[in-house]
Amino acid sequence: MKSKTKYIASEDEIKREFAQNGIENITSIETLGDGEFNAAFKVSDAHKDYVLKIAPPADATVVNHEHDMMRAEVFWYKQMAEKTDIRIPKVYAVDTSKKIIDSECFIMEMINAEPLTKINVSDEENAKIQEMKIRMLTKIHAIKNDKFGYIQVGLHDTWYEAIRDMASNLVADCKKFGYETPDGERFLEFIDKHKEILKKVPSKMVNFDLWDSNVLYLGNELCWIDPERSFWGDPIADFITLGKGQKTPLDEKQNEIEIYNKYASEPIRAGKEECIRYAIAVAYLALIEEVEKYVRYEPSEPNYIRNTVDARDMYDMAFEVLS
């Protein structure tokens, strides 16, 4: 997928990167194009397929929390590998030296399977798959911390402090790019309004990106990929990707909540405070989509328009709950 942040690597760079890690005689290199931030390649030798992920170039314009995000991705893969039984790709090598490829990169296992967005299954099978996905969430939500926020930006003592800093950074980014964000400013006011609720939130691993495109279908199990947007924070934020998606209030996701509570060690409900916490997460995603479009796409491109429309819808839903 076209994006201004993707590193353009030559075949020679890729082959030398693999040779440095003891993998030679490369037979093919293919671009993997679904992502919108990192560059990714399927690289094969006579015996095995690999994935090479490359962070954006050093001079790429990115939003604040996307700096050093590739190191964060490796960190979160490690958390899941060590603390859950979730199927994830094995990470074989990490290179932060920029000696061959002039950007941070890592090599991992290639899982030859389709994402959930590309499979054709019955409604009954899809329901089972979505239950498997929700069960995966309960496993990462069992990974706890005493700090909040993005590890690559800096952690805070409460979710209120973290989410306010995360949102403030995006508002500052927007202004730095030459745009105003009245919705972002209003969102900051709502964060302050609900400060006491947000200060009570527990710190857990939050993926915040568990769309079906980031889950591979292996039949009897699912494989989770691309956890780089994870943070320590409010687990309710992960309900954004469940059910009817990010534009649906939490109290309309009762089926997903029931499934979650069947497996979770700490069940949730859709009370007033939980709905406020969820709306905060939705507004934060809206702010991300609003700001990132300025650095990723041209105004005439479909994804720029998509982000504009999605952000508006999410703000409207969230602000109605937060008012």
Return d(Cα 181, Cα 156) in angstroms, integer: 25
Question: Tell me, what's the pLDDT at 38?
Answer: 81
Answer yes or no: is pLDDT of 258 > 60: yes
Q: Average of pLDDT values for 265-289? A: 97
Q: Which range is least confidently modeled, 1-5, 71-75, 121-125, 308-312?
A: 1-5
Per residue in 128-162, pLDDT tens?
A: 999 999 999 999 999 999 999 999 999 999 999 99
pLDDT of residue 81: 97
pLDDT of residue 69: 82
**Rounded to an integer, what distance in angstroms lies between the CA atom of residue 297 and that of residue 2?**
8
| pLDDT value of position 4 | 58
* Residue with the larger pLDDT of the pair 4 and 84: 84
DSSP letters, 160-205, are: HHHHHHHHHHHHHHHHHTT---HHHHHHHHHHHHTHHHHTTPPPEE
Instruction: Using the predicted structure, report yes or no on whether residue 2 has a pLDDT greater than 80.
Output: no
Domains of the chain, CATH where assigned: 11-109 (3.30.200.20), 116-322 (3.90.1200.10)
Rounded mean pLDDT of 21-25? 91
pLDDT score recorded for residue 1? 45
| Rounded-to-integer distance, Cα 151 and Cα 18, Å | 28
pLDDT at 9: 87
Cβ contact 282:318 at 8 Å: yes
**Per-residue pLDDT at 31 exceeds 60:** yes
pLDDT (tens digit per residue) in 196-223? 999 999 999 999 999 999 999 998 899 9
Q: How far apart are CA 110 and CA 177, in angstroms?
A: 36
pLDDT cut 90: percent of the chain above it: 83
Residue 295 has a pLDDT of 85
Question: Are the C-beta atoms of residues 43 and 33 closer than 8 Å to each other?
Answer: no
Residue 298 in this model has a pLDDT that exceeds 70 = yes
Span 67-118, pLDDT tens digits:
888 889 999 999 999 999 999 999 999 999 999 998 899 999 999 999 999 9
Whole-angstrom distance, CA of residue 299 vs CA of residue 286? 17
